[in-house]
Structure 1
Amino acid sequence: MRPWLIITICITLFSPFISQAEPYPEQRSNRQLAVTVCNDYRENNRLPCFVSRNDCPRGFEVIERFTDSSGPTFSACRDKRHERPRLSMPPGGRFAGKNPQLLKQFDRLVSAIEKGQVGRSMHLPKASREQLGHFFSAIDLTRIKLVYSKALANGCFTDCRQIFCASGDQVNAWTDPQAPVLSIRLLHQLAHVERCEIQGGRERFVRTWLKHLPDEVFNALDRGEAIDTEMIHFAMYMESHANNRAESICRRLSCERE
């Protein structure tokens, strides 16, 4: 059999498989990255998520948009309706017995922490905002204040757009314009800021998620002592949600783990 005839037969046999192959396999990478984000979000938060070509449709929010790889842009989208509390609760519902003084107590706590502020309020540098903007599209990162307060004995405490920390070095590391540090602790606090925005503001956030402020917190204030942030009890779901968000983002940014 002539060689050219053998070549013709081979091309004829394999051409259907060649035509079905992905001509530009690299174009799938953006979609695959978005699918990975959605899988993580569904697994960690038990809430719906789907992948959309280009932007998310109206009523949905971008968790992360992928444009870096060649090929079409894909976004991981979540339904914002699942993130919002119900506007009304039936009698005897989950929050019907909420202490009406809780918001006033929270205001007193924040006021004491603000009085303990050392130095001026800082902001996230541009480099950090650019890295985090894909993940926290629901919040304006330029409006977030990071504050060192000697009124805190440990850790950090978030009051919607204000993040107070017991360590001045921690705040300086996060806000260093030359070499800002992205840590999992910062991502955790930003997840609380995001939750406050989604919730519809500070008052609804506090009434929905703050569970208890023990007397010892205010006794410490009266004695002029620093506050143990571990005594400020928010709902476990909110804390686990912030942990999951921080962990998911940290894996993709290779952030520092403290």
Structure 2
Amino acid sequence: MTRYAMITGASSGLGLALAEALARRGRNLILVARQRDLLESIALELTQRFGVEVLLRACDLGEPLRLSGFLLELEEGDRQIDLLVNCAGIRTYGHFLAQEWGDEQDIIEVNILALTRLCHALGNAMAVQGGGQILNVASLAAFAPGPWMTTYAASKAYVLHFSEGLREELKQTGIKVSVLCPGPVRSPLRRIPRLDNGNRCMSPEEVALYTVRALEKNRALIIPGRRNRWLAASPRWLSRWLARKLAGAINRAYCPR
């Protein structure tokens, strides 16, 4: 039976870079994102360049009914998914009370609920298959409170702790669980000029290459970049009030103006 790696949020940025890095290693792919036209062109290009099979599914993971339908299709299908990459994510910047509630709800639906449902559904399928691998994408923001992107940071803290707990639970089933916590990643769709200067941002390709190599070593916590690893550890050395003050000052400086 043909095996596939399924990647959510695969139409741009880090999700696309991870898809290319896996295709380069000969992995067949199932790409999931909202934009069908982008997925079709990406699937064609990856197939032509690397000779792998690339399937696609246009699905808004923030809509529970559409996600349920997608999971039902996977359950009834005969494709074996042995790697799940939960890369889809939503972020907002700014004062929490100034945000539209719908945007904050979307963060919770996609970053938390959809990710957890996919882990549950595909984790059960992997257990039946005798094993597999799950990569959940969190963020450097997961390590401290995140004023001015409070819901996003909290959602990524959930992903970090959920993934580490799941790793311990699923060891006996043969399922390996890793969590990726990148710092700011350069992206033409989410450009933040104040972060794009110098070496503050890694490219999606750099992060993807580091991540794929770490997955091959079954690393539990993946933090690309020495500076980012230092930043992830720094909240342990600070009092809680100072950590949130510093995080708030940094995040506020990056808010769109």
Give 1 or 2 for the bigger CA radius of gyration. 1
Larger helix share, 1 or 2? 2
Return the structure number with greater relative CO, CA threshold 8 A, min gap 6. 2
Q: Same fold (TM over 0.5)?
A: no
Q: TM-score range by the shorter chain?
A: under 0.3
TM-score when normalising by structure 2: 0.24
TM-score when normalising by structure 1: 0.24
